[in-house]
Amino acid sequence: MASWAVLEQQRVWISPRAVSFTVVCDACAQIAAAEGYGASTVHGTLPLDAQRGSIECPRGHHLRVERDGR
């Protein structure tokens, strides 16, 4: 019932010193796999002093970004 909402809350980890990064959106990866084409990567940026943030993929999925390590 609420599983779709859970699916939409993705979390991705980036390396401690990453300012710009490219991650895979799982939801898009599933769509791309089902349709046989399409991109699933998302490009984002996060300031070095930020521990977390959020980005949106081209299809509108929300991804929480968390900085790995400390």
Q: Are 50 and 25 in contact (CB under 8 A)?
A: no
Q: Least distance in Å: CB of 24 to Zn ion?
A: 9
Q: What is the binding site for Zn ion (CB under 5 A)?
A: 25, 27-28, 57, 59, 61
Q: Least distance in Å: CB of 51 to Zn ion?
A: 23
Q: How many CA atoms lie within 13 A of 46 on its CB side?
A: 26
Residue 26: phi, psi to the nearest 5?
-60, -40
Q: Of 28 and 46, which has the nearer Cβ to Zn ion?
A: 28
Q: Least distance in Å: CB of 22 to Zn ion?
A: 13
